[in-house]
A = this chain, B = another copy of it.
Amino acid sequence: MSTTRSHVIIIGGGVIGTSIAYYLAKRGQSVTLLERSQLGTEASAAAAGMLGAQSEMEDTGALFQWARKSRAMFPELSGELRELTGIDIGLVREGLLNVALSDVQEAELRAREKLQRAAGEKAQWLSAAEATAIEPALSGATCGALYLPDDGQVDAPLLAAAFAQAAGVLGAKVQPFAQVQGLLTAQERVIGVQTAAGPLYSDHVVVAAGTWSGQLLGSIGIELPMYPVKGECFSVRTPKPILKKTLFSPGCYIVPKAGGRLVVGATVVPHSYDRKVSLSGLAELMERARGLMPLLCDAEWEKAWSGLRPQTADGLPYIGKVPTVEGLYTACGHYRNGILLSPITGRVMADLILGGEGTSEQGNSAIAPWLDAFSPDLSPKTNRVSQQDQDTFSATGKELISIETAH
């Protein structure tokens, strides 16, 4: 590991850290990314890759604004990454059906339809007959579905790999198996990081270590409340594709991948620090999935896995300058939206570090006003959501299902 100074050191090789490295490298910055293990093997590898800007958001606050902006970046990004690395990130823009299985869910989705139309997004309520006409594999027991034609999906593990490789092609030093032991500071400024192979110095340090970010920042007294929320998934195969659009319902989603593969997710196990896939989680998820799409019964089992989503106290990510320590930034706590938000997070962080929007490749005027909502400065004086706002926003962190395993 060279000790050559970088302008920016990024800690964390998931989809957020590698996106930041990519956008900084694109703008000619010297960047070193340090990942303690292999690249992209934690939450980024476990994600189903939904780009649910509309399906995951329950209001039109900051998270929604970022989400739709980020979703819009994927088509161009997909081409850039393929050009640089040969990797096709599997962008599919076939839309998503937000399925109602009860009257209550129907009412909620109809309300959401109005909200999203008012915000200028496409959303269309389909009757059961209309929904099953579009996706014949959908259960006949549905009450209907909210069709979101602009939500899509990517191959999440490939996205992290493509960001990392593209950053490397553009000059970033991307180092797997490089564990950061601590942050080096001097006179209220970060000056680098300590690694097993010695210190590395830089002007800026970005902590983008997912659910492990909290403890790294905590080691220098920055308290950002975070906890992991385990999600268990499985996949099956069918001889030929039987689903075009992603199905999304309370407690279960089914994402059609290339070649007849279907990814089914996900349980919600808060405060779980292991990645054990439990039999009970799997059984419950199977039951929900069969309720949503009975044809799954005949599908061929492929495998099961899990990941730890990084959740925060109020359900909003921490993105921005860390207070009191000059040169230190974080971008973490994206919970279930890390894949979706990775492009916008990478680009905004690059802007921030490079000192202002003026140098950005594209204007962020739509985003900047919302940045304060994610400030890692939790002191009362800041603009991070006030209490009543928190009530609103915390809804975004609300668990749709909650499978508690006995311990």
CB of A240 within 8 A of chain B?
A: yes
CB of A174 within 8 A of chain B?
A: yes
Give which listed residue, B86, B218, B280, B298, contacts A280 with CB less than 8 A: B298
Give which listed residue, B158, B168, B299, contacts A279 with CB less than 8 A: B299
Q: Which residue of B lies closest to A304 (CB)?
A: B301
- For residue A289, which residues in chain B have a CB less than 8 angstroms away from its CB? 279
- For residue A219, which residues in chain B have a CB less than 8 angstroms away from its CB? 181-182
- For residue A283, which residues in chain B have a CB less than 8 angstroms away from its CB? 283, 286-287, 290, 297
Evaluate contact between B273 and A297: CB separation under 8 angstroms: no
- Copies of this chain, complex-wide, total 4
Question: A85 and B282 in contact (CB under 8 A), knowing A177-B274, A276-B300?
Answer: no
Q: Which residue of B lies closest to A214 (CB)?
A: B196
CB of A143 within 8 A of chain B?
A: no
Evaluate contact between B274 and A297: CB separation under 8 angstroms: no
Bound-state CA distance A299–B280 (Å) is 8
Give which listed residue, B88, B296, B297, B405, contacts A88 with CB less than 8 A: B88
- For residue A164, which residues in chain B have a CB less than 8 angstroms away from its CB? 239
Tell me which of A215, A279, A304 has the highest count of chain B C-beta atoms within 10 A of its own C-beta.
A279
- For residue A75, which residues in chain B have a CB less than 8 angstroms away from its CB? none
Bound-state CA distance A239–B165 (Å) is 7
Q: Which residue of B lies closest to A301 (CB)?
A: B277
Give which listed residue, B165, B241, B406, contacts A169 with CB less than 8 A: B241
Evaluate contact between A174 and B279: CB separation under 8 angstroms: no
Give which listed residue, B241, B257, B299, contacts A278 with CB less than 8 A: B299
Evaluate contact between A240 and B282: CB separation under 8 angstroms: no
CB of A271 within 8 A of chain B?
A: yes
- For residue A277, which residues in chain B have a CB less than 8 angstroms away from its CB? 300-301
Evaluate contact between B88 and A92: CB separation under 8 angstroms: no
Tell me which of A197, A256, A405 has the highest count of chain B C-beta atoms within 10 A of its own C-beta.
A197
- For residue A287, which residues in chain B have a CB less than 8 angstroms away from its CB? 283
- For residue A158, which residues in chain B have a CB less than 8 angstroms away from its CB? 259
Give which listed residue, B86, B276, B303, contacts A241 with CB less than 8 A: B86
Question: A85 and B260 in contact (CB under 8 A), knowing A176-B274, A239-B168, A278-B299?
Answer: yes
Give which listed residue, B215, B259, B275, B296, contacts A165 with CB less than 8 A: B259
- For residue A16, which residues in chain B have a CB less than 8 angstroms away from its CB? none
CB of A258 within 8 A of chain B?
A: yes
Evaluate contact between B260 and A278: CB separation under 8 angstroms: no
- For residue A256, which residues in chain B have a CB less than 8 angstroms away from its CB? 86
- Which 3 pairs from chain A and chain B are nearest by CB? A177-B274, A168-B240, A280-B297
Further pairs besides A85-B258, A158-B259: 7, Cβ < 8 Å? A1-B273, A162-B259, A179-B215, A181-B215, A277-B300, A278-B297, A279-B301
Residues of A within 8 A of B (CB): 1, 85-88, 90, 92, 158, 161-162, 164-165, 168-169, 174, 176-179, 181-182, 196-197, 212, 215, 218-219, 228, 236, 239-241, 256-260, 271, 273-280, 282-283, 286-287, 289-290, 296-301, 303-304, 405-407
